[in-house]
Each structure stands twice: as structure tokens, then as C-alpha cells.
Structure 1
Amino acid sequence: MTDPMAGLHERGRETFAGLVDGGEARLDALFATVPALGELAVGTVYGHLHERPALDARTREAATLAAIVAAGMAGPPLSVHLRTGLAAGLAPAEVCEVVVQTAAFAGFPRAVSAADQLNRLFEGHGLPIPPPPSPREVVLAHLAAAEGEVAGVLAEFPRTEVQATGPGRVLVACFAAGDGEADDAVPGAVLHCAVDGADVTSTTVFRAR
């Protein structure tokens, strides 16, 4: 009889290895004593949940990090999902913001414990402490001081929806003021902003036809 979990486990290992350098060796070391737990955990999280289409990988990792902090799981879970969160496209500042958000609902002691571990994890990854602003923050500041073509687009389409799609990419959907909040409103323009650290390095404007 075929074991369905075995297939999920193999797929999960492949997914994890694609996110983390030396991922399979790390999993083998983590679950060396209890390999059956590794099969269950990796198969469930990376073989099944990670492949569900309702959430993109960034959002799923952010939700996972929030759950880890809320549960007080400082240790391997936070370390592992910092790696996979960064690999999925979360910016370091977004990871920190997850901790801040979680503190209000899960309590400050657990958030402080997570922040303490992040100090060491960031240092180990060679990440700046504190991290630069999140890409979304950088773009919002850029839009507030926009000039030239971008300023013209915002004057024409002043209502914006700003969404980071990766550690260095932010999309800004720009709507006419009269579009209201209708779900079927089509943006008059979309800005693709490339972000490096605290700077917007380029903005490409796409206009609706």
C-alpha cells in the first residue's frame, strides 16, 4: 500500500531545499533522532500547506512567523522560518513588523523573546541591525515626495493601493478619485518600483489602455 505521506515528505524536502541552501542536510540534522516527526512535519508544512494556492509564499511565511511568535516557539521554528521567509521574499523589516504586530495580540514577553533571538539570527545571516525600512515604507515615502512623471500619474490617479511583492519590488495600483472602493475598479496606471535598501532605484509606469 502506498503511503501518501511519503510522497508529501519528498515534495516537502524538495520545496525546502529550494528555499534554503543545504536544506535537505539541515532537515536530516534537525530530525536525526526522530525521523518520523520530520516526515510528518516537512510533509505537512512544505509538501502540503506550502503548495496551497490561496496564499502566496510571502504571506504564508508571514502568517507562520506570527504563529511561531504567538506560540512562544523561540528556537528552531523561528530560525527555520526566518530562513524560509527571507527566501520566499520577505524583507527583514517585514519580519520585524510581524513581531511587533504579534505583540499586541500574543503579549510582549513572547514578542520580546522572539526579538532577542532575531538579534542573534540577523547577526548570523549578516543582516543589518536594525534593518532598513520595508520596501513598502520606502515606496510610500517616495510617493509622498514624487516628482516628474510619477507626480503626474498620482495627480491623475490619486487613490493608490501599495503592495510589496518581494524584498525589492513594490507595485502601486493607481485609481481615479471617482473609482471609490469598487472591487471591479480598474487602475488607470500601475507603478513598478524597484527598491534597494532605503532607496527607490527605479519606477516603471504602466498605463491602462
Structure 2
Amino acid sequence: MAGARWNLTQVLLADKRADAAEAVAMSAVADVRADLRVENSDAMAVSGALLLIAAVAAVRDGKVWAGRDYLRQVAPLADRIGNRNVCWTAFGPVNVAMYAVSIEVESGEAVEGLRLAAKVDHERSPSIERRVAFLLEQSKGYLQRREYKEALNLLEAAETDAQEDVRFRPAAHALVRSPMERGRRSEAHEAARLATRIGLPG
């Protein structure tokens, strides 16, 4: 049930209902608390994954310090159980490190987010979706700094890793459009070629 609610939080975030996503995540964390007390590793992994989603939801709802606090809570769980993929959550130290980047980029702290990203070996994540999301978060950070070439390099890396994921992910479309509309001519042309490859509507 907690894993199912983790999926629900993803839907709520995609629907821009960050407050509801945080509430669902934290309710599910409370429901697995008894299993945490008996050192159930699966419960720890799912609880950690829910706290990570709650962190992103809090930041999107304007509560940056609450998001960072959730992240601080979850780090010891990840260190204790290592990288796992319970309910396809890909929870573990690698995912926590990737979410730390997301928290900073989502809060507009692109410099700190990109600094943290440089330390993450995202290829160790068992989830293609998470690896692609990590590349997109870095791209978003570079776009915040108007460094369009670097952003495009990451978008193209994400396309190489999982073209269908990029093709059908609205967040990726928004990132591709930014250098098309605001970059220099060469960057706009490169972004337009990428947009064509992923079938982005004009």
C-alpha cells in the first residue's frame, strides 16, 4: 500500500498538486512506522522514497527548508540499507544524492545543485527513469544560469539514454523549448533538431 501511494504522489506532482503529494507521502510514512521499529529494510526503503517525494513536494509548495529537512531525515536510512529497488523506488544513497540536486535546483539554487551533481555517479542508479530525471534536473540548473549549450548537452545525453522517456515527458519538452526560444542562433538550431528527433510539436 505504501508503494502504491508512492506512485500516487508522482501523479499528484505531475498534476501540480504539491501540497496533496506531500500529505499523501507523509501519511504513508506514518503508516509504515511500526515496520521501521523492527528494522524492516523494505519498509525503510519505501519510507525513504516517500520522504524524498515529500521533499520535492514541499519545495514546489514553497517550503524549501521543510524539503531540506526531509532530505536530512532520509539520508541515515539510505546509508543503513544501501541501494535497493523496493516497489521500483530505486531508493538508496545514490537516489538520495540525486534528490539533493533536485531540491536545490527546484528552489532556484542552481549553483549549489550543479555542485552537488558533479559528485554523483548517476549510472549506479538501477532506474533508467531516475537517471534521465537527474540529467533533466541538471539541464534545468544550467538553463537557470542561461548556459544553454551545457543544458543541451545534458538533454541530448538523456535522449541517448531513453529517447521514449524524453519524448513523452512534458518537463523535458519545456526544457528543450527554452534554448529554442532564448539561446543563441546555433543553440536554437541545435535545440530545434533535438525537438524534431523527440517529436516535439512546433
Q: Please, what TM-score do these two structures have when normalized by structure 1?
A: 0.30
Bigger radius of gyration among the two: 1
